[in-house]
Amino acid sequence: MSSLTDILRKAISLVEPSPSEKENIRKIAEELRSKVEGLTVKRSEISSVELGGSYAKGTWLKGDVDIDIFVKFLPNIPKKCLEDIGIAIGKKALAGYRHYLRYSEHPYVEGIINGVKVNVVACYDVKQGLWKSAADRSPYHTLFIKSNLDNRLKTEVRILKKFLKVAGLYGAEIKTQGFSGYVSEVLVHKYGSFKSVLEAASSFNEGAVICVEEIDEDIAKNISTPVVILDPVDQRRNLGAAISPENIASFILDARNFLKNPKLDFLKESSVKDIYEELETSPLIENLLLAVFEHKSRTVDILWGQLKRSQRHLEKQILKAGFEVLRGSSASNELSSSGFIFLLDSQTLSQFQIKVGPKVHSAQDASKFLQKNESNAKLMWVTSDMRIHALSERKYWRASQVVRVLLGGEFNGSGVAPGLAQEIKDSFEIFTGTDVFKAVVGRSWLLEGINRVVFADRLSFGSSK
Ligand code: CTP
Ligand code: MG
C-alpha cells in the first residue's frame, strides 16, 4: 500500500493542467474577454467586464474547465435591461460558435469555443452585501479566493474537486445536489489542505457549522441543514443548503475510508468502458430496470426537477404494487433523451397473492369480503384463526408491467411530471436485466447514471464489489 504522501504527490499530475493546456485556455479566455469588452465600451449601463469562476481563481481541473465571464451592470439598471443586454452581448461574442441560452436565477449565454465551455453571465456591480441578483456575489468569491489561496492551496482545491467528482459528489446543481467548486475552495481555505478537509469531514458532527470568519450566532441558530457552510463573502448564505444529506453522509464515509486506506482509485474517474466492463460482471444487472425516453430540450435545472419528481413518484407506485426499489436515479443527456433507473430486489413477484380476510363471526364483514373477492379468487379457505383467506392472481407480477402502465398513461396517479408525461408516453422503452446492455449503446449518459446507482458508492464502503 502506498503512503498518503505518495498518493497525494501522484494526484498532482491527475488534477493540475499542463503548461500547454493552461496556455491554450488563457488564449481563449483573453480573446473572449477582449471581444466582450469591445462590445461593452459604448454601453453606459455596464461598468466592467471580468473573468470569474475557477478559471480566474486558478482552481480548474485538468481537462475540465469552463470559462466564466461576468458583465457587470450599474445597480440602477432594471433587471429586464440587464437580462436583454447581457444576452445580446453573449450572443454576439459567441457568434460563429455553438451557443445557447441557459438559466440560473436569470438567463445567460453558454457557448463552446474549440471544445471549451464558456459562459457569459450578467450581474450587478454592487457593494458587498447589497446583492441585486444571485450572480452578484460571484466577483466577490473570485476576489476572496484569489487573495486567500496561494498556489499550494489551489492544488489542494483541485485534488478535493477531483475526489468529489470521482465520488459523484461534485456540483451544486439540482442534478447532483453536491459540493460546488466554491464550497471546495472555502473548505480548503478553512482547513488548510485536502487531507485536513477529509480529517475534518471524518468527524463532522450533526449540524456542524463551518465558517471562515467569526460566526454570527444569530444567523447560525436559524439554519438547520446537516452541515452549515457559511459563505465568507455573505454570512447570511448557507452554502451547505444545496448539498443533500445523502451526499454529506457519503462524503464523511469516503473521507474516513480514504484516510484509512489511501488509494489513487479515489482520484481516478471511471471511463465509460470501465463502467461497462464492471457491469458485465455485476450480479446486480439482473435487478436493473430502465425506462428511456425522448423529449424536447429545456432548461437543465427544470429538466432535472421534472426527472427527480417523476422518479420519486414512480418509485412510490412501484412499491405500492408490491416490489421493493432498493435504489433509483434518473439520467439524461440534458438535451433530448433521459431515463429512469431502478434497482429492484426482484423483477418478479409470485403470480398469486393471499388476502387475509375477517373472522367468520362477523356475518357482515365476511359477506363483504366474499363478495369482493369471489370473482377473482382462485381459491378461498379458512384457517385455524377462523379468518377467511382468498388466493388471487396478481394483476402485475413483473415490475416492467407496472412501469409500462405508469408511463403509458393508463394510470392517472403515476405522479410523472406533467411537463414530461406526454413525451414519455409517446417514446418510452423499458429494458430489464441483460437487455440493459442494449439500452446503453450510444447512451453513455445512461451508463453514468447506472454507475451512480450500482457502483459509485463502492469507495465509501471500502470494497470494490
Ligand atoms: N456559484 C455560486 N454558487 C453556486 C454555483 C456557482 O456561488 N451554486 C458562483 C461561484 O462564485 C462560482 C461561479 O458562480 O465561482 C462559477 O460557477 P461554476 O462554474 O459552477 O463554479 P467554478 O467555481 O467555476 O468551478 P468549476 O467550473 O471548476 O466547477
Ligand atoms: Mg466554472
Residue 26 CA to ligand 1 centre (angstroms): 18
Closest-CA residue, ligand 1 atom 7, reads 138
Q: Which residue has the higher pLDDT, 414 or 114?
A: 114
Exposed/middle/buried for residue 458 (C-beta within 10 Å: 0-12, 13-18, 19+):
middle
Lowest average pLDDT, out of 43-57, 107-121, 198-212, 244-258, goes to 198-212
Confidence of residue 464 (pLDDT cuts 50, 70, 90): very low
Closest alpha carbon to 89 in 53, 48, 130, 138: 48
Query: Which pLDDT score, from 0 to 100, does residue 1 have?
Result: 55
- Contact in structure between 239 and 185 (CB atoms under 8 Å): no
Residue 56 CA to ligand 2 centre (angstroms): 9
Helix (H) or strand (E) holding 277: helix 272-280
Helix (H) or strand (E) holding 309: helix 300-320
Query: Which pLDDT score, from 0 to 100, does residue 409 have?
Result: 87
- The contacts of residue 234 (CB under 8 Å, 6+ apart) are 128, 129, 131, 137, 140
| pLDDT (tens digit per residue) in 226-262 | 889 999 999 889 999 999 999 999 999 999 999 999 9
Query: Which pLDDT score, from 0 to 100, does residue 344 have?
Result: 98
List, as own/partner pairs, every contact residues 140-148 make where C-beta atoms lie below 8 angstroms and the sequence separation is at least 24, other chains included: 140/233, 140/234, 141/52, 141/57, 141/182, 141/185, 141/231, 141/233, 142/50, 142/52, 142/53, 142/56, 142/57, 144/232, 144/233, 145/57, 145/59, 145/182, 145/185, 145/189, 146/56, 146/57, 146/58, 148/189
SS3 content of the chain, % helix, strand, coil (to 5): 50, 20, 30
Confidence of residue 459 (pLDDT cuts 50, 70, 90): confident
- Report the distance separating Cα 424 and Cα 307, nearest Å: 11
- Report the distance separating Cα 153 and Cα 440, nearest Å: 39
Query: Which pLDDT score, from 0 to 100, does residue 73 have?
Result: 98
The C-alpha cell at 74 is 450599474
Average pLDDT score over residue span 372-390: 94
Find how far residue 285's CA is from the centre of its chain: 23
Query: Which pLDDT score, from 0 to 100, does residue 110 have?
Result: 95
Exposed/middle/buried for residue 362 (C-beta within 10 Å: 0-12, 13-18, 19+):
exposed
Whether the pLDDT of residue 165 is over 70: the answer is yes
Closest-CA residue, ligand 1 atom 29, reads 181
Whether the pLDDT of residue 408 is over 70: the answer is yes
- Contact in structure between 208 and 227 (CB atoms under 8 Å): yes
| pLDDT (tens digit per residue) in 138-149 | 999 999 999 999
Give me the phi and psi of 116, to 5 degrees please: -105, 130
Whether the pLDDT of residue 220 is over 60: the answer is yes
DSSP letter (8 states) at residue 271: P
Average pLDDT across the chain, whole number:
93
Q: Is the pTM of this model over 0.85?
A: yes
Query: Which pLDDT score, from 0 to 100, does residue 465 have?
Result: 39
Residue 184 near ligand 1, beta carbon < 6 Å = no
Residue 401 CA to ligand 2 centre (angstroms): 43
Whether the pLDDT of residue 44 is over 70: the answer is yes
Percent of the chain whose pLDDT exceeds 90: 85
Residue 172 near ligand 1, beta carbon < 6 Å = yes
Residue 259 CA to ligand 1 centre (angstroms): 27
Residue 53 near ligand 1, beta carbon < 6 Å = yes
| pLDDT (tens digit per residue) in 54-109 | 999 999 999 999 999 999 999 999 999 999 999 999 999 999 999 998 888 889 99
Whether the pLDDT of residue 194 is over 90: the answer is yes
Residue 61 CA to ligand 2 centre (angstroms): 10
- Report the distance separating Cα 80 and Cα 334, nearest Å: 27
Candidate from 138, 163, 234 with most ligand 1 atoms within 8 A of CB, to mutate: 138
- Which atom of ligand 1 sits closest to the CA of residue 64? 28
Closest alpha carbon to 70 in 80, 78, 57: 57
Provide the total of helices (H) and of strands (E) in the chain, helices listed first: 17, 15
Query: Which pLDDT score, from 0 to 100, does residue 147 have?
Result: 97
| pLDDT (tens digit per residue) in 286-305 | 999 999 999 999 888 899 99
**Could you tell me how many residues make up the chain?**
465
Average pLDDT score over residue span 336-340: 97
Helix (H) or strand (E) holding 165: helix 151-166
